[in-house]
């Protein structure tokens, strides 16, 4: 009965947080276990009683302040200095700017929305198809879950009880590898489609972009540098990044007006509240999963299929691609980690860092794949391009992402090398 309720609620388009909370409640009612019922509020609160989760609203606030304060635009201008003169220059600019933004926002959906508004109209004016511009922007959103900071890494670190700072460090090499694979995809598509050759900025333009862009670049350096050097926790880095974005936008660039702050804070509070509510509900659901010994049953089933860690990760990627197509990445992460992490670490000896990076990237691919594909629809609504046209333009980037995933599953050192585990 519990499974039937879960499926019906999910298919009925009920918000996923309510699906998880109500399913757990139905299970408790059916089981007749009064101890479970009395523990329900405690489990709700216990799921969000973590200092590390404070990083989520703070990173969201940093992204909002950057967008309103003109920091995003300066990072795009700085990207033009690095790659603007190559064939398909604006495509490279889009990707480099996305890599910089990934080091600040940490949310794929937010990044796609922000960068779609900033980049696609400019690409269309220079001869790129609207769908291709939207596709590159959407593909750039895939960098958010693995280039630190990452909202999914924060959640995974809390759930897996591993240091969030080390999870961030584990994502650096995979993020650079994924970015490089996207550069190759852009180069191939640019040669085939003969996209226009870019133009390097003049000396005056370059000087102006450099002077205005270097302070903006300080924000990702504060986040990553503070964590790598051990000077700040991820939560403290998020707070410092928010403060830096506020000061830059208000006093250096002058784009952030005091009147905007209530709207920015309200938008951040609403978005963060939705995520925290989901985590609380999923905590109860995960508690039910563990109580029912589902991880042990899943372990027995998987053991009958393979004993090789690489094959296990390939099987995991295949299953999670389907899960990510249907369920939001955060909700899916909270559902699968309690079941699959113990199997990966105890039965196959897989590092939790390798497992976390592979799982997070695989689930976010679902943002860009039908039938749900929230990232596709965000890019479509922001640009006016058809979701299916965007998806067709996305195929080279999705193939590059799959190739990167296989490489990460095959070579554990790509995720564990920088943290020495």
Q: Is residue 237 part of a domain?
A: yes
Q: What is the pLDDT of residue 276?
A: 77
By C-alpha distance, which of 382, 415, 420, 406 is closest to 130?
382
354 has pLDDT over 90: yes
Largest pairwise CA distance in the chain: 75
Question: pLDDT (tens digit, 9 = 90+) per residue, 18-59?
Answer: 777 787 777 777 776 666 677 777 777 776 776 667 777 887
Q: Is residue 7 part of a domain?
A: no
By C-alpha distance, which of 401, 367, 18 is closest to 179?
401
* Average pLDDT estimate for 134-161: 82
Q: What is the pLDDT of residue 298?
A: 65
113-119: list long-range contacts, CB under 8 Å, 24+ apart. Answer: 113/378, 113/382, 114/63, 114/67, 114/72, 115/72, 115/140, 115/141, 116/378, 116/379, 116/382, 116/383, 117/382, 118/72, 118/73, 118/76, 119/76, 119/90, 119/93, 119/94
Q: Enumerate the β-bridge partners of residue 87.
A: 197
- The C-alpha atoms of residue 150 and residue 299 are separated, in whole angstroms, by 28
Torsion over CA of 118, 120, 122 and 123, rounded to 10 degrees?
Answer: 140
Q: Is residue 21 part of a domain?
A: no
* Average pLDDT estimate for 221-228: 78
Q: Is residue 216 part of a domain?
A: yes
Q: Give the residue, 418 or 351, on which the prediction is more confident.
A: 351
SS (H, E, C) 342-384: HHHHHHCCCCHHHHHHHHHHHHHHHHHCCCCCHHHHHHHHHHC
Phi and psi torsions of 206, nearest 5°:
-65, -40
Token pair listed for 204 = 């005056």
* Average pLDDT estimate for 314-337: 79
Q: Is residue 4 part of a domain?
A: no
Q: What angle do CA 119, 218, 239 make, to 5 degrees?
A: 100
318 has pLDDT over 90: no
Q: Give the residue, 129 or 375, on which the prediction is more confident.
A: 129
200 has pLDDT over 80: no
Q: Is residue 15 part of a domain?
A: no
62 Cβ contact list (under 8 Å, min separation 6): 104, 105, 219, 238, 241, 242, 244, 245
Q: Is residue 371 part of a domain?
A: yes
Query: Is 16 exposed, middle or buried (CB count within 10 Å of its CB: 0-12, 13-18, 19+)?
Result: buried
Q: Considering its fold, how many domains does the chain have in total?
A: 1
- Alpha helix (H) ranges present in 12-105? 16-31, 34-48, 55-68, 71-83, 89-102
Provide, for the chain, the percentages of residues in helix, strand and coil under a 3-state DSSP scheme, each rounded to the nearest 5: 80, 0, 20
Block residue for tokens 């690489």: 310
- The C-alpha atoms of residue 394 and residue 379 are separated, in whole angstroms, by 12
Mean predicted lDDT score pLDDT of the chain: 79
Running DSSP on this structure, what letter comes out for residue 195? P
Structural domain span for residue 349: 33-419
Question: pLDDT (tens digit, 9 = 90+) per residue, 51-74?
Answer: 667 777 887 788 788 878 888 778
Q: What is the pLDDT of residue 99?
A: 79
Q: What is the pLDDT of residue 293?
A: 66
- Report percent pLDDT > 70 for the chain: 86
Quick check: 248 and 69 in contact, CB under 8 A?
yes
103 has pLDDT over 80: no
Angstrom distances, CA of residue 349 to CA of 158, 318, 352: 20, 20, 9
Q: Is residue 350 part of a domain?
A: yes
Token pair listed for 170 = 């584990």
Query: Is 345 exposed, middle or buried (CB count within 10 Å of its CB: 0-12, 13-18, 19+)?
Result: middle
| Res. 177 pLDDT band, cuts 50 70 90 | very high
Q: What is the pLDDT of residue 310?
A: 92
Helix (H, G, I), strand (E, B) or coil at 285: helix
Token pair listed for 289 = 């999963």
Torsion over CA of 326, 331, 334 and 339, rounded to 10 degrees?
Answer: -20
| Res. 198 pLDDT band, cuts 50 70 90 | low
Q: How many residues in the chain?
A: 421
| Res. 403 pLDDT band, cuts 50 70 90 | very high
């Amino acid at each position: 009965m519990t499974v039937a309720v879960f499926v019906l609620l999910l298919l009925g388009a009920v918000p996923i947080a309510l699906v998880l909370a109500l399913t757990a409640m139905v299970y408790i009612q059916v089981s007749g276990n009064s101890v479970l019922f009395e523990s329900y509020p405690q489990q709700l609160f216990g799921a969000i009683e973590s200092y590390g989760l404070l990083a989520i609203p703070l990173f969201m606030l940093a992204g909002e302040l950057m967008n309103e304060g003109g920091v995003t635009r300066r990072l795009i201008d700085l990207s033009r200095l690095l790659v603007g003169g190559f064939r398909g220059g604006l495509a490279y600019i889009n990707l480099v700017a996305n890599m910089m933004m990934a080091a600040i926002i940490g949310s794929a959906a937010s990044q796609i929305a922000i960068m779609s508004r900033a980049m696609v109209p400019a690409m269309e004016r220079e001869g790129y198809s609207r769908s291709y511009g939207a596709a590159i922007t959407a593909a750039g959103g895939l960098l958010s879950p693995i280039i630190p900071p990452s909202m999914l890494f924060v959640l995974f670190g809390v759930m897996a009880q591993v240091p969030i700072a080390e999870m961030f460090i584990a994502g650096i090499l995979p993020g650079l590898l994924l970015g490089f694979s996207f550069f190759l995809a852009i180069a191939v598509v640019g040669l085939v489609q003969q996209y226009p050759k870019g133009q390097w900025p003049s000396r005056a333009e370059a000087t102006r972009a450099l002077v205005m862009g270097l302070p903006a670049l300080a924000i990702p350096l504060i986040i990553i540098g503070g964590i790598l050097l051990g000077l700040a926790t991820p939560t403290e880095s998020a707070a410092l990044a928010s403060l830096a974005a506020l000061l830059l936008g208000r006093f250096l660039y002058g784009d952030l007006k005091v009147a905007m702050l209530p709207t920015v804070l309200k938008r951040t509070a609403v978005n963060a509240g939705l995520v925290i509510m989901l985590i609380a509900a999923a905590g109860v659901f995960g508690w039910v999963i563990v109580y029912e010994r589902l991880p042990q049953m899943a372990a027995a089933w998987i053991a009958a299929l393979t004993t090789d860690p690489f094959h296990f990760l390939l099987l995991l990627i295949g299953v999670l691609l389907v899960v990510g197509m249907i369920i939001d990445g955060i909700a899916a992460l909270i559902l699968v980690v309690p079941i699959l992490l113990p199997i990966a670490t105890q039965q196959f000896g897989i590092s939790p860092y390798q497992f976390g990076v592979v799982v997070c990237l695989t689930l976010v691919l679902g943002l860009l794949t039908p039938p749900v594909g929230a990232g596709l629809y965000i890019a479509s609504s922001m640009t006016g391009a058809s979701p299916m046209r965007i998806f067709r333009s996305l195929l080279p980037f999705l193939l590059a992402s799959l190739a990167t995933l296989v490489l990460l599953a095959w070579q554990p050192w790509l995720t564990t090398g920088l943290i020495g585990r």
